[in-house]
Structure formats: structure tokens, C-alpha cells
Amino acid sequence: MRRKSNQGGNLEMADKQKYALVTGATQGIGYELAKLLAQDKYNLVIVARHQEELDARATEFKQQYGVEVITLAKDLSTRQGPFEVYEAVKMQGIPVDVLVNNAGQGQYGEFVETDITREREIVDLNIGAYLVLTKCFLKEMVARNEGKILMVSSIGGELPGPLQAVYHATKAFVSSFTEAIQNETKDTNITITKLLPGVTDTDFFNKADMTEAKIVKEGSKADPAEVAKDGYAALMTGKLEIISGLKNKAMVAASKVIPDSLVAENMHQQAKPSEK
């Protein structure tokens, strides 16, 4: 239920308040999406690991857009983190009208050499957090018969990813999972949108130790603000899917007709360390 004021004059205003929850909201695509939501007067619940970064963004959004901002410093790569986010929101009686599942990380390198502990954290973040938050908030949306969810996936979910095997696999889960629950909710007023960016100019590649990869060092990187605009427009109009960028659209289309082994080999060559 929406929070209501005891004063009758404020009841209608309180009833019209809109709330959006954004994970990974302090940087990159998540930050740009939070900004777009704030511009449209959504009050925000922003989630990230570091309280200082959250506080800085909260001050920015409040001052620039005059919205309420609630910060939740949680580690979504832990099993309990996503549940703690949901419980914190529930305790405040906040109805989440828009859920943006965005937080995600990767790890670069040959699978036989990469850190399995880190990869389990990536699976819990990229899959587990999406799963838990979607389950919890979608139940509430179904009960109200209204709501929007944006799943930030990746074109990597459509392509095998040598040297990023686990990351690509997690995004394949997100894409398949999203398509299934889109179908399950097709007769409701809830819309679930899948956003598929390609290589984007964010801190993702630093965290993944991937800055020397050919595709990153030599290739062009999308502006996260432009990716967010694509995703936000699709979210607001209820589109099922948006692939951001013409080059990425072409890459995904080609992967549908080229044998997977050749797609994998091509991705491997692009992901190899740059010689420049």
C-alpha cells in the first residue's frame, strides 16, 4: 500500500508519489537511469555498496530534481543482501512502482585460471540479486496490477563469451529469465523490459581487469547516458526488449545465423589482449 498522510489535505499528494528502486545507482548506466527517473519526479531508492557514494548521489538528485532519495548501502553479491534491501523498503511502506535491476560485474581471463570465489560472487550479484529483487517486488506489483521492471542485461547474454565466460553466462540467464516472466505477466498491467547494451564507457572493465582487451582498448565505447536513454524510453513505453546501438543490433542479428562455434571464436579474438 502507498504511504498515506493523516492529514486529509495531503492524502491525494501522498497517493500520487512514485518510487523507483535502482541497483548499482552511483555509477555508469545505473546512475544515468536514476537521473532520468528523478527528472520525471520519481522518488528514488538507490542501492550500492558504498555509503559515501550513495550520499553524494542522493544530495545531487535532491538538489537538482527535488525528489526524495533513500539510500541503501548493501552488498548484493551476498546471499542476504537482496533480501535486506527488500525488507528495508517494506519496513518504510514504500511501494516500488519501477524496479531497475542494473548492478553487475564481470571477470576477465581464461576460465581455468580465474578466481572461483570471485565468480561465485558474480553469479550471486548478476543472477541472485536479479532473481530475489524481481521475485519480491513483482509479487507486490501483481497484487496492485501495476508496475514496471527494467532488466539491464547485455548483448553478451546473446553471445558466447570466451575470456568472460561466466559474465556472458549470467547475462544469458537474465535474458532467458526475463523472457519467461514477460510471458507469465502478459495479461497484467505490469511491463518488464530487457535492455541489452554492448561495450559501454563505465567502470565495469576496470573492475573486471579487462581494460587491455582488444574490444575495450581499441573499440568504440557507448556513452552510458545514451544507453540509459534507450533503456528508459523502452521501459516507459512498455517495450519487451531494446538493444542499444546499431552495431550491437547487427552483432546480435548476425549471431542468430552464424554457427555458435564461429561466434565464440570471433568473440575470443576480440577479447584477447590488445597488441597496441
pLDDT of 36 higher than 70? yes
pLDDT of 145 higher than 70? yes
Query: Would you please indicate which residues are annotated as catalytic (active-site) residues?
Result: 167, 171
Query: Which tens digit of pLDDT belongs to each residue from 68-116?
Result: 999 999 999 999 999 999 999 999 999 999 999 999 999 999 999 999 9
Query: Which tens digit of pLDDT belongs to each residue from 37-46?
Result: 999 999 999 9
Within a 13 Å sphere around the CA of 229, how many CA atoms are in the beta-carbon half? 6
Q: Comparing 8-12, 28-32, 40-44, which segment has the lowest mean pLDDT? A: 8-12
Average pLDDT over residues 12-27: 80
**247/267 Cα distance (integer angstroms):** 14
- Asked whether the beta carbons of 129 and 82 are under 8 A apart, the reply is yes
pLDDT of 214 higher than 50? yes
Name the DSSP letter for residue 218: T
pLDDT bin (cut points 50, 70, 90) of residue 14 is very low
pLDDT of 15 higher than 60? no
Handedness of CA 250, 253, 256, 257 (dihedral sign): negative
pLDDT of 53 higher than 50? yes
- In this predicted structure, what is the pLDDT of residue 218? 75
**Higher-pLDDT residue of 36, 201:** 36
- In this predicted structure, what is the pLDDT of residue 273? 85
Grid coordinates in use for 57? 548521489
- Asked whether the beta carbons of 239 and 192 are under 8 A apart, the reply is no
Helices vs. strands in the chain: H and E counts, helices first? 12, 7
Q: What is the mean pLDDT of the chain?
A: 90
In sequence order, what are the residues at sequence separation of 6 or more whose Cβ sits closer than 8 angstroms to the Cβ of residue 234?
193, 195, 241, 242
Phi/psi class of residue 95: alpha, beta or left (left: φ > 0; alpha: ψ in -120 to 50)? beta
**Higher-pLDDT residue of 87, 9:** 87
- In this predicted structure, what is the pLDDT of residue 1? 35
Question: Strand 98-101 and strand 147-152: pairing?
Answer: parallel
- In this predicted structure, what is the pLDDT of residue 12? 38
- In this predicted structure, what is the pLDDT of residue 31? 96
**Higher-pLDDT residue of 169, 263:** 169
Average pLDDT over residues 193-204: 87
Which residue is it, cell 539510500? 71
- In this predicted structure, what is the pLDDT of residue 251? 78
Q: Of 216, 250, 21, 272, which Cα lies nearest the Cα of 129?
A: 21
- In this predicted structure, what is the pLDDT of residue 239? 96
Average pLDDT over residues 226-253: 91
pLDDT of 59 higher than 50? yes
pLDDT bin (cut points 50, 70, 90) of residue 16 is low
Query: Which tens digit of pLDDT belongs to each residue from 113-138?
Result: 999 999 999 999 999 999 999 999 99
- In this predicted structure, what is the pLDDT of residue 178? 98
